[in-house]
Amino acid sequence: MPTDVNPAALADLVKGSTVPVLVDFWAPWCGPCRAMAPALATLAGEMGGRMFVVKLDVDQHPEVLDECRIQSIPTLILFAGGGGEMARRVGALPLPGLREFVARAGVP
């Protein structure tokens, strides 16, 4: 299950991680965000140990919109362990699309 994080926890996680970190930037009112949640939870279970999957509520933390250049939600950003953006996707994806997104970014 994806973990909810705040911006400080996200920065610490990305900086200290040895595996990629997939972040779902979302909001509770966002229908596509809620629709993608079950697929994201499944992906988190499948990728255990190879990647962290976290969620950041942009309504609770609007400062991340500018910091991460978020213009629409849901936005998925895959960060390399230790930092640096590996891939970005705007819009909801079904489970096969999520798998392909992380695979194309180089997550085994």
Residues with active-site annotation: 30, 33
User: What's 2-16 look like in SS3?
Assistant: CEECCHHHHHHHHHH
CA distance 86 to 59: 24
